[in-house]
Amino acid sequence: MSDFVFDEFHYQSQLTLKIQKLKQDFANFNIENIEIFSSPIKHFRMRTEFRVWHKGDQLDYVMFGQDKKPYAVHEFPIGSITINELMPKLILQLNADSDLKHKLYQIDFLTTQAGDALVTLIYHKPLDENWIAKARAVKDQFNINIVGRSKGQRILLDKDYVIETFTVDQQQFSYQQVDSSFTQPNAAICQSMLNWAVNNSKGFNGDLLELYCGNGNFTLPLSKNFEKVLATEISKNSVNSALFNIEKNNINNIHIARMSSEEFVQALDGVREFFRLKDIQLQDYQFSTIFVDPPRAGLDDNTVSITQRFDNILYISCNPETLHKNLLKITETHKIQAFAAFDQFPYTHHLECGVVLQRK
């Protein structure tokens, strides 16, 4: 990574190529304007993971190239300032202690824009009281949270999460972000995505249905624009974080249902009844809008048809290819009102998109 140049010229050059390709790929939709949200050039990534390479008696952070070979990482310009400050100090401390470095396999960093940090140390050995005492000393020395993981073990020395804060439409929202659970890696772009979604859904009113809500990342700020919000998520850890975040932000118009999108569609259509919805009366909702943020595979055909029942569709996509496929069907009934490109992963070919559609 040290051979790569992280500057305005190289960043803008690559972003320009990505946007050109995006416009070419979506030319058949005759999109009048694509709003582009660029990333900071450096220190934009709030979380990362490194494998640990044992060479003799010393440890190194490593990443693996396309050739499958390990490459030592001594600096990480795309990582947050906090990650870059912690990396050399932490590896020095680990190298100085045989108990802490023995059979250490991986190190994960999760940080916030305010400088808080959670470090997860993953081992190929059982972790005992001696490890706990030494890891606690490192925790106190660097003022960080540490989680130790091994097969069948997950040891918390204090908290297993950090609290991130985003400002959306001039209001602050706080989020619990938990070890090993998904969070948006690029904090600046995440904040741009949240503001874009909120600004483009003002005036929709009615109630909102959200599929794949995660820890409530979009759910919380979007709740300002709707009477009630019903959000679904399959991951138990993400549901717990979403509930934590709803309470922490004092929001009272959101309900979370732990179920897959496929299960919820069955409930919505009356095909099946679910005990998990026993406290939720679907007939009380007047849904005007659906929000979807699916995995890279995009929406399955059945869920695509479900989105077409709603007056308004908010679609966040991490894969333009599957987004394009879904839009071919959705635009039979809906018109694209807004389209945005978010450079979540600079210096890669990846690009995230946001689309607002309204019934024709």
pTM for the predicted model, two decimal places: 0.94
For the chain, give every residue range classified as CATH 3.40.50.150.
8-30+184-359
Q: What is the pLDDT of residue 267?
A: 82
In the chain, beta strands by DSSP E: 35-37, 47-55, 58-64, 70-72, 104-111, 117-123, 145-150, 153-156, 161-168, 171-178, 207-211, 229-233, 254-258, 287-292, 312-317, 334-342, 352-359
Stretch among 64-78, 141-155, 205-219 having the lowest mean pLDDT: 64-78
pLDDT confidence of residue 1: 47
The residues with which 316 forms a beta bridge, in sequence order, are: 354
Written as one string, the DSSP assignment of 296-334 is TT---HHHHHHHTTSSEEEEEES-HHHHHHHHHHHTTTE
Residue 34 forms beta bridges with which residues? none
- pLDDT category at 3 given cuts 50, 70, 90 is low
**What distance in Å separates the CA atoms of residue 2 and residue 42, rounded to the nearest whole number?**
13
Tens-place pLDDT, residues 194-238: 999 999 999 998 999 999 899 999 999 999 999 999 999 999 999
Q: Tell me, rounded to whole angstroms, the distance of Cα 15 from its chain centroid.
A: 21
**Residue 197 DSSP class:** H
pLDDT digits (tens, 9 = 90+) for 234-286: 999 999 999 999 999 999 999 999 888 788 888 888 788 887 787 888 888 99
Percentages helix, strand, coil for the chain, rounded to the nearest 5?
35, 30, 35
The DSSP element (H or E) to which 262 belongs, if any, is: helix 261-268
Least confident of 129-138, 266-275, 350-359: 266-275
Tell me what the mean pLDDT of segment 296-324 comes to.
Answer: 94
Q: Measuring CA to CA, which residue among 265, 294, 306, 262 is closest to residue 282?
A: 265
Catalytic residue among 318, 321, 332, 353: 318
Q: Of 190, 263, 352, 353, which is the active-site residue? A: 352
Pairing label, strands 229-233, 254-258: parallel
Q: Is 190 a catalytic residue?
A: no
Distances (CA, A) of 199 to 147, 153, 279: 38, 44, 31
Q: Where in the chain is CATH 2.40.50.1070?
A: 47-159
Q: Say which CATH architecture domain 8-30+184-359 belongs to.
A: 3-Layer(aba) Sandwich (3.40)
Q: Tokens standing for 308?
A: 């077409």
Q: What is the mean pLDDT of residues 329-334?
A: 98
User: Do residues 104 and 32 touch, judged by C-beta distance below 8 A?
Assistant: no
Nearest partner of 321 among 25, 23, 111, 1, judged by Cα: 25
CATH number for the domain formed by residue range(s) 47-159: 2.40.50.1070
Q: With 80 as the cut, is the pLDDT of residue 2 above it?
A: no
